[in-house]
Structure 1
C-alpha cells in the first residue's frame, strides 16, 4: 500500500524528546484496513518512507486511533526539520508475505 500525505512535524516531550509526523485520519483509516497483514506485534506497522531526498525504514506507532511516523535525527537533520515544519511524506506499508 502506497500513500502520500502532508502533515506537520510534532515534538513529543518526555524523558527525551522525540519527533513524529502524524498520519492524517484518511490515511490512518486505510492503514487500519491492512494492519493485520502488516503488523509484527504491539500494533506497530512497518513502513518505508521518504521525506524530500531522505528515504528510511521505520515502524508507525499507533496513537488514539491513528498513527505516528517517527523521525530519527538521521532523517530530520539532512532535511533541517523541526517541530512545526510542514512535510510531504511518501510512504509504503510493508505487508508480511
Structure 2
C-alpha cells in the first residue's frame, strides 16, 4: 500500500514525463515546446495528437518543401512521397507520363 507521499510523487512524476515528451515532439515539429509542455502536463492525452500535426516551421534543416507540389518532405529524401518528383534532377513521374 502506498502512503500519501508515494501517491503525490506519482501524481507529479507521470504528468511531468508526458510534459517532457510533448515538449520534445513539439520541438522536433517546430512548434512551441513550452506551450506543449504545459498542455501535455495538464492534458496528457494531447501527446497522442501532437505527432499527427504537420511541422509549422522547417526545423533545423530536417524538412524542406518539394519543388513541384510544395509538400513538406524530409531533407535527405531525393524523391517526394506525395508527387514522386526527383528533387535532384527536378523530373516528375507526372511530367514524364509515368503513373505508378
TM-score range, shorter-chain basis? under 0.3
By percentage of residues, which structure has more helix?
2
Higher relative contact order (CA 8 A, sep 6+): 1
State TM-score, norm by structure 1. Answer: 0.24
State TM-score, norm by structure 2. Answer: 0.24
